[in-house]
Amino acid sequence: MVVSASAGNGASGSAARRASEENMRSMVDKVSAFIFDCDGVIWRGDSVIDGVPETLDMLRAMDKRLVFVTNNSTKSRAGYLGKFTSLGLNVSAEEIYSSSYAAAAYLESIDFPTDKKVYVVGEVGIQEELDLKGIAHIGGPADADKKISLKPGFALPHDPDVGAVVVGFDRNINYFKIQTAQLCISENPGCLFIATNLDAKTHLTDAQEWAGNGAMVGAIKGAVKRDPIVVGKPAEFMLANIATQFGLHRNQICMVGDRLDTDILFGQQGGLSTMLVLSGVTTEAALLHPENGIHPDFYMSQLSDLLSIKAAPVAV
């Protein structure tokens, strides 16, 4: 099922209406590139969503440029290539853009001082991308088992050379990491507070939703009373960096995602066309709820709904 969610690009408050194959064809014909979220669009947990391989093959056959974007920072681009390959998806490393890479690219873009280091609350994906940029870092998985034994007069030491704290999804978040992060941000002059994303929930398995990076960021934000610099969706930095890196014009891009407040907002704020799929976080009830103010150009049950245009005549 494919439905038009608004009369215009991202208009709010419009009644949803079904879209015909001609509407879908028009959308596909007018863009030269698709940016896909991964979790909930391409896969759920470790399972590829039905019809995705065929849909991607169809779009490639139509000479569309494909870029795969994920807010999940647990893997680097190389790590995600392994996941795509394991799921039988024909994707190249150059087509992948992760929030772990976005964090490293942001630090590079601001000429992060070479005499400073990054404290990582997160997993190996962030560290691998920092390594590729030559940015020194500490923390991450190495602090997974560290504990604090509180006693009178105890003060946890922290590294004064930390110039940025990067917070990504961390399955081994603990009090040591939270305290170290807040000390660096609060006490090191000019220390940056960077979040790969603020996603409330994520898909670690295909059985249920799990607390996302917003929970990790929220714990530290609550301590430092500062908002982080967000580099993943829906942040402008990520889109600008993608457009530059891939040589894309925004009016020729369609963003496809499963989240209203990240994927669709990311596309709307950046001037892209948008498609929502219901195979991930967002339900049809949530999309059509009167209090929802974020409406994609179109929505569909899952990405493979696009296969219905395969036999349709190509516009001249």
DSSP states along 210-273? EE-HHHHHHHHHHHHT-PPEE-STT-HHHHHHHHHHHT--GGGEEEEES-IIIIIHHHHHTT-E
- 63 is a catalytic site residue: no
Spatial distance between the Cα atoms of 191 and 1, rounded to a whole number of angstroms: 48
Q: Is 233 annotated as a binding residue?
A: yes
Q: State the number of CA atoms in the 13 A half-sphere of 291 facing the CB.
A: 1
What CA dihedral angle connects 121, 229, 223 and 199, to 10 degrees? -70
Cα-Cα-Cα-Cα dihedral of 76, 81, 86, 90, to 10°? Answer: 160
Cα distances (angstroms) measured from residue 165 to each of 12, 99, 196: 36, 15, 11
Beta bridge partners of 96: 68
Q: Does 37 count as an annotated binding residue?
A: yes
Q: Which of 29, 37, 261, 263 is catalytic?
A: 37
The dihedral through the CA atoms of 224, 225, 226, 227 has a sign that is positive
39 known member of a binding site: yes
Total residue length of the chain? 316
List phi, psi (to 5°) of 194.
Answer: -120, 135
Q: Would residue 37 show up in a list of annotated catalytic residues for this protein? A: yes
57 marked as part of a ligand binding site: no
Residue 234 CA to residue 251 CA, distance in Å, equals 17
Catalytic residue among 39, 170, 199, 263: 39
Pairwise CA distance, residues 267 & 234, whole Å: 8
Nearest 5°: phi and psi at 37?
Answer: -70, 160
Cα 76 to Cα 282: distance, rounded to the nearest angstrom: 26
Nearest to 166 by CA among 152, 155, 180, 147: 180
Instruction: Detail the residues annotated as belonging to a binding site for substrate.
Output: 233
Instruction: Detail the residues annotated as belonging to a binding site for Mg(2+).
Output: 37, 39, 258
Instruction: Detail the residues annotated as belonging to a binding site.
Output: 37, 39, 233, 258
Give the residue numbers marked as catalytic: 37, 39
